[in-house]
Structure 1
């Protein structure tokens, strides 16, 4: 991941926060560095984010600047890892050619490795794994 720089003129420090404006609500929102740069948002370094001032009559909403910039929350990552682990450990039923390959109007149009492309007379196609020597004719 490349480091984004503060968008303030003459500042070359690394950005740690993203500033956005909610014009309809007259609010300035300063939060953690967004995952990607947006044209309507301003990336600020720590010093410029601390010295932020808003237009008269506007509210400033400061969200906590925690964690690594642009990184998902640890709880989100753990939930994703658990979901992937559950899918990986699941024991599925073996997939066979099924009823589609046994129909009289189905013919084999291609075969590569353990996959066979089947086509029916209506134009429907399906790629299925073929077990052992069973290959539809």
Structure 2
């Protein structure tokens, strides 16, 4: 049994050939070739619905060319993906300090960090914040 992806539009039974993604920060709708995997917050569209696509007022539609001559990602794409996965899998050898002017990391829980604007002196550690010297950052 072959499972093909269908158009995301209601009542459309055509096969999907494009993927639509919204970039809310840039007020942009990106319509490109069908993504290799189903992604949340992306919409698969058939050719007819992709041609009829319009965006809200003030938004831009970016249409990426669909390269149908190749059967999938090229060797350069796969090599870049493999390198990115390798890099992400490497354990950091030493914790790097935050960039200058960004503060000092004081605690970490999962992917979240607590960052202070300047280090706390040892004599101020157990004092309430109101008793500490004022911050020089303005």
Question: Normalised by the size of structure 2, how large is the TM-score?
Answer: 0.51
- Counterpart CA distance in 2 for 1:27 and 1:60 is 6
Larger radius of gyration: 1
- The structure with the greater share of residues assigned to strand is 1
**Alignment partner, residue 107 of structure 2:** none
Segments of 4+ moved more than 3 angstroms: 74-77
Contact 1:20–1:30 (CA under 8 A) maintained in structure 2: yes
- Counterpart CA distance in 1 for 2:6 and 2:71 is 13
Q: Cα distance 1:69–1:53, how it changes in 2: closer, same or farther (>3 A)?
A: farther
Q: Deviations over 1:69-114 (max 9, x none)?
A: 982136657x79xxxxxxxxxxxxxxxxxxxxxxxxxxxxxxxxxx
Q: Cα distance 1:70–1:50, how it changes in 2: closer, same or farther (>3 A)?
A: farther
Residue pairs, 1:1-137, within 5 angstroms: 2-67=3-68, 71-73=72-74, 76=77
Root mean square deviation of aligned Cα: 2.6
Question: Normalised by the size of structure 1, how large is the TM-score?
Answer: 0.51
- Counterpart CA distance in 2 for 1:60 and 1:49 is 11
Query: How many residues align structurally?
Result: 79
Q: Structure 2: any 5+ residue segments left out of the alignment?
A: 81-138
1:30 match: secondary structure = strand
Q: Structure 1: any 5+ residue segments left out of the alignment?
A: 81-137
